[in-house]
Amino acid sequence: SGCNSESRGALVVLEGLDRSGKTSQSSRLLTYLEGLGHSVELWRFPDRSTNVGQMISSYLSNKSQLDDHTIHLLFSANRWEKRSLMETKLKTGTTLIVDRYSYSGVAFSSAKGLGDEWCKAPEIGLLAPDLVLYLDIQPEKAAERGGYGGEKYEQLEFQRKVAQCYQVLHDASWMIVDACRPIEDIEKQLQELVLECVMACQKGKPLANLWS
């Protein structure tokens, strides 16, 4: 199934509101690609394992307070500190399934009122995803699924704003997936989209930088 070590891996990002199913679909994709014999890893942002990630985690669990601009830049720094490893993995043929990325960064901060362009600026030069899978769900429907934890941002009113902010971020790399269908149907659709993307990257689709 094309495990040619000369070819690069794909950068696949899952985005969507809280409770849209990103995390469970990400792990299903991992299992699927592993099953086909691909080299693949599951990543997520924020990556709470680093020093910066711990500051973010403390902020999200309301243990510390930070100015909106400051936390925005920390989220971005948390991606920058992983950029070179990300590039190495991709260039050596590993596909990365990434649960949240720069789009979460821009959508959540602009939902607080920070300007779009200001929010995008620190993301310039990070690797551009080959495919963004947006799990589309109405904020009210997501809230009905229950299980909002106690973290910052996990409130219906704020999620409504985030949903609006995601809307303006769509580009050619996005696929909007209806996240209200049965979980297996979504899984199947994602498998097809990701496989096609992985093939395109194997065939030499160039790696690009944000925002392109």
Q: Which residues are at the interface with ligand 2DT (CB under 6 A)? A: 45-46, 60, 75, 100, 104-105, 108, 153
Distance CA 14, CA 132 (A): 6
Distance CA 84, CA 78 (A): 12
For residue 67, the minimal CB distance to ligand 2DT (Å) is 14
For residue 46, the minimal CB distance to ligand 2DT (Å) is 5
Which of residues 32 and 45 has its CB atom nearest to ligand 2DT in the complex? 45
71: nearest Cα among 129, 32, 122? 122
Q: Do the Cβ atoms of 19 and 143 come closer than 8 Å?
A: yes
Which of residues 104 and 202 has its CB atom nearest to ligand 2DT in the complex? 104
Which of residues 153 and 174 has its CB atom nearest to ligand 2DT in the complex? 153
For residue 45, the minimal CB distance to ligand 2DT (Å) is 4
* Cα 54 to Cα 59, 76, 107, distances in angstroms: 9, 14, 21
Q: Could you tell me the sign of the dihedral formed by the alpha carbons of 125, 152, 145, 110, in that order?
A: negative
Which of residues 95 and 110 has its CB atom nearest to ligand 2DT in the complex? 110
For residue 179, the minimal CB distance to ligand 2DT (Å) is 15
Q: Do the Cβ atoms of 12 and 97 come closer than 8 Å?
A: yes
The three-state secondary structure class of 175 is strand
Which of residues 95 and 104 has its CB atom nearest to ligand 2DT in the complex? 104
For residue 60, the minimal CB distance to ligand 2DT (Å) is 6
Distance CA 15, CA 133 (A): 6
